[in-house]
Amino acid sequence: MPEDFTSVSDRTFEEEVLKSELPVLVDFWATWCAPCQMVVPSLEYLAQNYKDKIKIRKLNVDENPKITSRYRVMSIPTLLFFNDGELKETIVGALPREKIVEVISKHL
């Protein structure tokens, strides 16, 4: 996981994501998940090109069962996009960067 991505946990999720001033894209992932590694370049692109518009956070599903269950994340990678504390979009699978940008851009 790149150093510039902040991890969130069951304990910090509310403060970091739901109470965030900026919209937040949360990447639900696991260390053993190869497709999860495939979305990292897309997340790096978003982190660099949308840094004043959104925050990117990562949540390890193996270490954070409460939030994973709460949002019914059944397969990974899953990207959840939150704005003003509300879940706005769910992206399941390792989609191309253009598709991820298209999905979140409609909320910015």
Catalytic residues: 33, 36
In this structure, the chain runs to a length of 108
| Phi and psi torsions of 58, nearest 5° | -120, 140
